[in-house]
Chains A and B, each alone.
Chain A
Amino acid sequence: MTSAAPLFKAEIRDLSFRFGRTQVLKSVTLPIAERRVTALIGPSGCGKTTFLRCLNRMQDLHPDVRYEGEIILHPEKINILDPAVDPIEVRMRIGMVFQKPNPFPKSIFENVVYGLRIRGVRDRATLDERVVQALQDAALWDEVKDRLHAPATVLSGGQQQRLCIARALATNPEMILFDEPTSALDPVATSKIEELMTGLKDKVTIVIVTHNMQQAGRISDFTAFMFLGTLVEFGRTDTIFTNPSNKLTEEYITGRFG
């Protein structure tokens, strides 16, 4: 784990979120360190996915939702929850990888360049170059370099998930949100993804939701423990795992509930 004090990539201040009348997040305040991995842990239903999806305004897609508080994105320090901010702009800067691999019904190549095409990039050389880079960063290049134009669905589940990571990386996002990215994968595929995420740290800020304590311990620099829509404890991962200050955190980490 890196030691120099990191800069902020985002600051979440007093974030509350409601689906209709149900309040799912209650005044969550949390910093996201730049080019570090922040892990979100907590029992099922505590609001981890909801929190993550607030960060790229994906929650706007549900009808009748309400945000309160601020999510300040650095370096400009804009509040991305401000109604004047276009959610599409936010999603252009913040990528997302889902629990279940979701490649599009297109070739491997077209999956990776999807975001670039959306952004109007046409130049063949640029596309080719970004595909190689993104697939290398996602540790998939060697396995697919000879069949870039094969449909993405011929890949295994683990390869598909790495393809989705490559797709997110291809547009050079500032931050990538991972929602339990390995929960549908076997241990070998999982360790490949953990490895590549560690390698991505010097390029991009990562926030990951995981139910796997070992995973959080292995790859994250900071850990946030959530419970019933509130943030219970936040700190450096080693501190949270070895010396949590909250009783609830300790019980959750040691597997006594959750």
Chain B
Amino acid sequence: MMRKRNPGEQIIEALLLLAALSSVGITLGIVGVLLYESAVFFREVSVIEFLTDTQWTPLFADPHYGILPLLSGTMTTTGVALALALPLGTIMALYLSEYASAGVRETVKPFLELLTSVPTVIFGYFALLVVTPCLQLLWPALPGFNMLSAGLVIGVMIIPYISSVSEDALHAVPAHLREGSLAMGATRMQTAFRVVVPSAVSGIAAAYVLGISRAIGETMVVAIAAGMQPTLTWNPLEPAATVTAFIVQVSLGDLPHGSIGYQTIFVAGLTLFVVTFLFNVAGYMLRTRYHRKY
């Protein structure tokens, strides 16, 4: 005869389910608030104006609500960060997984992971007070606030995410695949690029998506080092504000609740969410497509 299930266990199970659902609830709640407040905003400003106007001056007497200047700032700093972090992070991962001795790997990995625990405000001041002056030695006309040094420092910040997650993916590739390739007379490099990387591609894609999301959402570094002026420019040598930098700037000011200036925070937040979300979906689709193939 089957025993009736222990009621205590049922309660624990229900609590665990609740904990799991709470994360779903919180996410939906945040998205709900963003959507609601943005809807209020779009009653005043047309979507067309929002997407095509080339100025973002919501607090001026003559307000413009074009998101492009903020997006260009976000994309430029992210672009600079990725140009540094994707190649370096991938090379580090390949080196650690395919070339480094166990000793070297066990020494280097904790340091990389330590880098992720440095508060981002420190990275921000590092960009402003160290990286920018150094870049000015090479390029004296570089303004004190610029997207290049912010982007480079974000790049350094996300290298550990990219290299550590990619390294895990590469390391998880079964040894017998590597041996199969080496036994064919392949070099380690040929084995790494032709067999190991393709086998780990979904994990590497996950690492990239994580890195990209971090770069897009990074706030402190850009707020400190890139300047606060929304400018429609793709030139990393210029100062500009990003979506995130704008949000901090406005959140810190005392705007009346319910004013349109106040709503802009939410619409900027929604934009940020949509962009990051799209990257995650793209990464997810890339992974499933690859999985279906192999």
Q: Which residues of A contact B (CB under 8 A)?
A: 56, 58, 61, 63, 88-89, 91-92, 95-96, 98, 100, 102-106, 114-115, 117-119, 151, 153, 164, 167-168, 171
- A58 contacts across to B, CB distance below 8 A: 179, 182-183
The distance in angstroms between the C-alpha atoms of A89 and B190, with both chains bound, is 15
Collect the chain A residues with CB atoms within 8 Å of residue B179's CB.
58, 61, 98, 102
In the complex, the answer to whether B186 meets A118 with C-beta atoms within 8 Å is yes
A63-B101, A88-B187, A104-B177 known; A151-B293 Cβ under 8 A: yes
**In the complex, number of A-B residue pairs with CB atoms less than 8 Å apart:** 66
Interface of B, helix, strand, loop or mixed by DSSP: helix
CB-based nearest A residue for B292: A151
Interface CB pairs A-B, < 8 A, 23: A56-B183, A63-B101, A88-B185, A89-B185, A91-B182, A92-B185, A98-B179, A98-B180, A102-B176, A102-B177, A102-B180, A103-B180, A105-B177, A105-B198, A105-B199, A114-B186, A118-B184, A119-B185, A151-B294, A153-B294, A164-B180, A167-B184, A168-B184
Within 8 A of A (CB), among B147-204: 174, 176-177, 179-187, 190, 194-195, 198-199
| Closest B residue to A119 using CB positions | B185
Q: Are A91 and B183 in contact (CB under 8 A)?
A: yes
- Chain B residues within 8 Å of chain A by Cβ, number: 20
Known: A95-B183, A95-B184, A105-B198. 5 other contacts (CB 8 A): A63-B101, A88-B186, A104-B177, A117-B194, A171-B184
A40 to chain B, nearest CB (A): 17
User: Is A91 touching B198 in the complex (CB atoms < 8 A)?
Assistant: no
Chain B: which residue is nearest A117 at the CB level?
B194
When C-beta atoms are compared, the residue in chain A nearest to B102 turns out to be A63
B263 to chain A, nearest CB (A): 49
Q: How far is the CB of B96 from chain A (nearest CB, A)?
A: 16
CB distance from A74 to the nearest CB of B (A): 19
How many whole Å from A110's CB to the nearest CB in chain B? 9
A153-B177 Cα distance, complex, nearest whole Å: 13
